[in-house]
């Protein structure tokens, strides 16, 4: 059996469409709430499969779940103030609470389920770290298939690398960056019939739709004004657009929120194409030549992505088209933020919430920019998606708080980070009661 992720003729990624009129769809999103009372059933416990009627591609018996999606939405006054919102207007969706510590588990439960449905023996992915950690945890807990992960040899955060190793995934450090690793894994998967679990896999995106269902559920099924999400390979943004388009078509919501996708300035392909060059979805038909020229210039100038937000250090986002479709459906905008803005925003997320890894804070930095531009109004309700757990990348956090910009450069390759405005530096003190009290009273 061939497992395709893209059209053999045009090369575009495959997409999943359901014949909704033949499927049991609830008449209201509130119906899903009843499943909370049946939490001993692993499918109803899962924050993904609780909504299985909205991703109905698998029979219950095939579903692979490890309790993903127990994530929460919280209002954050500290971050709201930083962004410039009115009181109560800023919400953080903590996807770092997933079993492997990032939003990837929402999609990997779906991809693992499909892998089981097709009897896959080996699954693979390329990763900046979180996808590999997620695939590896599903393989280690489900024991249904073996896993090989391809990581770039550059800046993978140790928290993430340690997960792939600890979950016993075969780990290949490709001498190249993420874009190279993804190209290679797609080739190898095609050659060897290996099941591919990157977000080129449309089932991944089906699972990631549920992040939006949980956001709506937490807001008592009220649609917020904005969803703000970091953009790397653009799987999340694509999935969110699909989720809202489907919910609207099914009459389960009455309006679609606006979507803001935030690139790191050092990995800003989407920003360049969408905001600078005006590329639009346009039914999937136009913009191809602009996009091709953009990538061929990128290759000829040997431009590589470079940002301390290593999770989104991606120059060749595979879900570009699907993301353009999402931006079209959600009246979307794209912004880029510097590494400095990302680290400052991350420190505010830590000071006023559970914390997050650098890439995740791009959402908050992006919201702040959009607020300053007046695109987001102070009275809006804004949900920033925090995609990964704070402990994924402690090096960046410690470097920032110790205010050691030389360390940024040397250890993390952080360029352009000059200040640590919100640093909470550790205080060195003598091993002596009196001295400690003196420090505390300062
Ligand atoms: N935030 C985090 C923490 C991520 O790990 C990623 C992607 C993104 C945001 C971007 O999401 O690709 O859906 O736009 N990480 C991938 C990986 C590429 O390999 O772990 P996207």
416 vs 176, which has greater pLDDT?
176
Judge whether 388 and 103 are in contact, CB under 8 Å: yes
CA distance linking residue 400 with residue 388, whole number of Å: 18
Helix (H, G, I), strand (E, B) or coil at 350: helix
- The pLDDT score that the predictor gives to residue 334 is 98
Q: Is the confidence at residue 416, as pLDDT, over 80? A: no
CA torsion 183→329→277→382, rounded to 10°?
A: -90
Q: Is the confidence at residue 418, as pLDDT, over 80? A: no
Phi-psi region of 217 (alpha: psi -120 to 50; beta: other; left: phi over 0): alpha
- The pLDDT score that the predictor gives to residue 442 is 86
- The pLDDT score that the predictor gives to residue 402 is 87
- pLDDT tens-digit readout, 363-379: 999 999 999 999 999 99
Residue 182 Cα, ligand 1 centroid: separation in angstroms?
Answer: 13
User: Could you tell me the residue range of the domain that residue 79 belongs to?
Assistant: 72-99+205-412
Mean pLDDT of 415-440: 89
CA-closest candidate to residue 217, choices 87, 32, 25, 27:
32
Q: Is the confidence at residue 413, as pLDDT, over 60? A: no
Residue 224 Cα, ligand 1 centroid: separation in angstroms?
Answer: 23
Determine the distance from the C-alpha atom of residue 346 to the mean position of all C-alpha atoms in its chain, rounded to a whole number. Answer: 15
Which residue CA neighbors atom 10 of ligand 1 most closely?
232
Number of domains composing the chain = 1
Residue 321 falls inside a structural domain: yes
- The pLDDT score that the predictor gives to residue 408 is 66
Question: pLDDT band at residue 409, thresholds of 50, 70 and 90?
Answer: low
Residue 142 falls inside a structural domain: no
Judge whether 77 and 87 are in contact, CB under 8 Å: yes
The alpha-carbon radius of gyration of the chain (Å, integer) is 21
Q: Is 76 in the pocket of ligand 1 (CB under 6 A)?
A: no
Residue 407 falls inside a structural domain: yes
CA distance linking residue 178 with residue 96, whole number of Å: 21
- The pLDDT score that the predictor gives to residue 128 is 92
Judge whether 106 and 131 are in contact, CB under 8 Å: no
Question: pLDDT band at residue 420, thresholds of 50, 70 and 90?
Answer: confident
Which residue CA neighbors atom 19 of ligand 1 most closely?
127
Residue 330 falls inside a structural domain: yes
Mutate to test the pocket of ligand 1, among 94, 171, 232 (most ligand atoms within 8 A of CB): 232
Residue 398 Cα, ligand 1 centroid: separation in angstroms?
Answer: 22
Question: pLDDT band at residue 286, thresholds of 50, 70 and 90?
Answer: low
Residue 154 falls inside a structural domain: no
Residue 196 falls inside a structural domain: no
Residue 194 falls inside a structural domain: no
Give me the chain's average pLDDT, please.
Answer: 94
Contacts of 160 (CB under 8 A, 6+ apart): 127, 128, 129, 130, 132, 133, 392, 393
Q: What is the pTM of this model?
A: 0.97
Mean pLDDT of 253-273: 98
- The pLDDT score that the predictor gives to residue 436 is 96
- CATH number where 90 lies: 3.40.50.1100
Residue 131 falls inside a structural domain: no
Contacts of 17 (CB under 8 A, 6+ apart): none
């Amino acid at each position: 059996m061939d497992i395709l992720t893209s059209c053999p003729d045009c090369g575009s990624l495959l997409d999943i469409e359901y014949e909704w009129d033949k499927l049991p769809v609830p008449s209201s999103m509130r119906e899903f709430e009843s499943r909370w009372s049946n939490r001993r059933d692993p499918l109803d416990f899962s924050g993904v499969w609780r909504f299985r009627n909205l991703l109905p591609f698998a029979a219950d018996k095939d579903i692979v779940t490890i309790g993903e999606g127990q994530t929460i939405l919280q209002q954050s006054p500290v971050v709201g103030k930083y962004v410039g919102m009115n009181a109560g207007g800023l919400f953080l969706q903590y996807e770092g609470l997933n079993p492997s510590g990032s939003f990837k588990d929402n999609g990997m439960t779906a991809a693992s389920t499909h892998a089981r449905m097709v009897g896959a023996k080996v699954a693979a992915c390329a990763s900046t770290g979180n996808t590999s950690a997620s695939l590896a945890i599903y393989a280690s807990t489900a024991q249904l298939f073996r896993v090989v992960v391809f990581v770039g040899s550059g800046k993978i955060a140790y928290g993430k690398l340690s997960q792939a190793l600890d979950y016993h995934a075969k780990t290949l450090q490709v001498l190249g960056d993420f874009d190279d690793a993804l190209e290679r894994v797609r080739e190898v998967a095609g050659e060897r019939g290996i099941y591919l679990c990157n977000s080129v896999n449309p089932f991944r995106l089906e699972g990631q739709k549920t992040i939006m269902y949980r956001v709506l559920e937490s807001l008592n099924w009220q649609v917020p004004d904005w969803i703000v999400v970091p953009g790397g390979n653009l799987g999340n943004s694509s999935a969110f657009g699909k989720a809202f388009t489907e919910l609207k078509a099914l009459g389960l919501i009455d309006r679609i929120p606006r979507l803001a996708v935030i690139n790191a300035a050092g990995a800003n392909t989407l920003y360049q194409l969408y905001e600078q060059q005006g590329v639009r979805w346009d039914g999937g038909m136009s913009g191809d030549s602009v996009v091709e020229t953009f990538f061929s210039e990128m290759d000829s100038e040997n431009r590589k992505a470079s940002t301390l937000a290593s999770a989104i250090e991606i120059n060749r986002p595979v879900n570009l088209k699907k993301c353009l479709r999402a931006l079209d459906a959600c009246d979307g905008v794209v912004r880029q933020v510097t590494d400095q803005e990302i680290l400052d925003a991350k420190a505010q997320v830590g000071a006023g919430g559970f914390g997050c890894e650098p890439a995740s804070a791009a959402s908050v930095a992006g919201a702040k920019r959009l607020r300053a531009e007046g695109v987001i109004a102070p009275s809006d309700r804004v949900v920033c998606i925090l995609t990964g757990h704070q402990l994924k990348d402690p090096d960046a956090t410690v470097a920032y708080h110790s205010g050691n910009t030389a360390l940024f450069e040397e250890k993390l390759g952080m360029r352009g980070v000059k200040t640590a405005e919100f640093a909470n530096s550790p205080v060195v003190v003598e091993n002596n009661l009196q001295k400690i009290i003196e420090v505390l009273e300062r």
